Amino acid sequence: MTLRMNIDCNGCYQRIRRALLHMQDLESHLIDRKQHRVSVCGAFVPQDVAIKLRKRTNRRVEILEIKEVDAGAGGEGEPPAPGGQQPS
Looking at CATH, the fold of the domain delimited by 2-65 is given as: Alpha-Beta Plaits (3.30.70)
Q: What are phi and psi of 82, to 5 degrees?
A: -60, 145
Q: Tell me what pLDDT residue 68 has.
A: 82
Residue 83 pLDDT:
57
- Kindly give the interhelix angle for 46-57 and 10-21, rounded to the nearest 10 degrees: 130
Q: What is the pLDDT of residue 81?
A: 54
What is the model's pLDDT at position 77? Answer: 47
- Quote the mean pLDDT of the chain: 84
Give which of 51, 70, 68 is closest to 59, Cα–Cα: 51
Which segments of the chain have a pLDDT < 50? 74-78
List the chain domain ranges. 2-65
* pLDDT the model gives residue 25: 86
**Residue type present at position 30:** L
